[in-house]
Structure 1
């Protein structure tokens, strides 16, 4: 029995990141590591629009079964010149053959794998202060040159 209605989602923006080729430090006690630098990107489609400042990173841990755990930090610059820090942890998983195709940079249908993140925003901007006080989730898609997310606010 549910005590409350399920949360609703409202669209925030689409985000596309362009990334460098992965640096491969190897397998550590935590798992196989990949470090991927973010070269840039853009976001929009909702009320918050702008570009990704080059220089963020995605510190990935690859589990034995191929599941990827993300730890990402990037900087967004809105079209009205405000800076918003964005960090998120995420998970991308699926059947081994699907994950192998993604690793080879192939175009894979998003319905063949699970890719979700939980973005957290931090800003000194008065205009975007509301983003400091909300929960967000996103759906992801791996592209040959980067990743694409659709970000939603949990209402």
Structure 2
């Protein structure tokens, strides 16, 4: 038996977010972002991110790592609701992060941006999501993140 990780593309998720507040805390700069909507598209499921039904709790650590704690509600094109949560991190060279924060285009190969999504749904056709782990590779755009999400087989 081979002990290698195999994946299958689950979907591409594109979110629109806006920072609502930020404050320095003992552990770093805490920011709260509202997820204003977006979409997800894949071979087995597709739909929209419901606006104002999710958020992103960000923590900018003193070492330059940005930690994410995100909750979203997805609605598939056929009307099923899926609760999606993920944690992750983003970091890179100081000049690259400065360009990202300024809204400049930056190739995702220049920085590290990874997430670990999990799913919960009561919908029978999508209940397989309740039993899988996934990983995502992010690309930060000016309007919000774009993730390529992969099921770990």
Q: Which TM-score applies when normalising by structure 1?
A: 0.94
Structure 1 segments of 4+ aligned residues over 4 angstroms from their partners: none
| C-alpha distance in 2 between matches for 1:45 and 1:131 | 13
Q: Say if 2:53 is the partner of 1:29.
A: no
Across the two proteins, how many residue pairs are aligned to each other? 152
Q: Matches of 2:84 and 2:73 in 1, distance apart?
A: 6
Cα displacement string for residues 24-49 of structure 1 (whole angstroms, at most 9, x for unaligned residues) = 33111221111110000001132111
Distance 1:50 1:11 in 2: 16
Could you list the runs of 5+ residues in structure 2 that have no partner in the other structure? none
Residue matched to 1:114:
112
Does the CA contact (< 8 Å) of 1:138 and 1:151 recur in 2? yes
Segments of 5+ residues of structure 1 without an aligned counterpart are none
Distance 1:25 1:52 in 2: 23
Q: TM-score, normalization: structure 2?
A: 0.96
- 1:69 is the counterpart of 2:71: no
RMSD: 1.1
